[in-house]
Amino acid sequence: MTLRPALAAEADALAALEAGATAHGWRARQYRDSFAAGHELIVLDVDGEAAGVAVWMLVIDEAELLNIVVAAPQQGRGHGRRLLDATVAGARAAGARRLLLEVRESNAPARALYLSAGFVETGLRKHYYPAENGREHAVLMELAL
């Protein structure tokens, strides 16, 4: 298992990984846009294949986790924690004083992961995400670095 920078040529493969893990995940275009914007994309490889990806960006002294996903067959093995830890380390090394994120209110496993890593809930964006039956709230979270 290794962590490495993602390659722009992997946008389609990362979108396919995400499509298998969540109904409302990023598409290839969003990955391409992140590469073009200079965001940090970290891939977790397991047995030579991408098993997850984290995308984050730095704005002055603030980092934001834009996306994190682990392939469905690889979930529950600590890979989300590894990607999150790599993101936190990268943000600290880049000089960020805090790391922000938003997560679907219904995503209990992700919220538990973030809380266990020291994030605190700081707010709510009502009706933010598309959902099967309308819209879903986004929980805003922050980690002091």
Assess whether 114 carries a catalytic annotation: yes
Q: How large is the C-alpha radius of gyration of the chain?
A: 14
Which residues contact residue 20 at a Cβ distance below 8 angstroms, ignoring those fewer than 6 apart? 71, 72
Would you say 67 is a known binding-site residue?
no
| CA–CA distance, 127 with 61 (Å, rounded to integer) | 29
| CA–CA distance, 102 with 27 (Å, rounded to integer) | 18
| CA–CA distance, 123 with 106 (Å, rounded to integer) | 15
Catalytic residue among 10, 40, 114, 142: 114
Catalytic residue among 40, 102, 136, 142: 102
Binding residues: 107
Q: Which parts are annotated binding residues for acetyl-CoA? A: 107
Catalogue the active-site residues. Answer: 102, 114
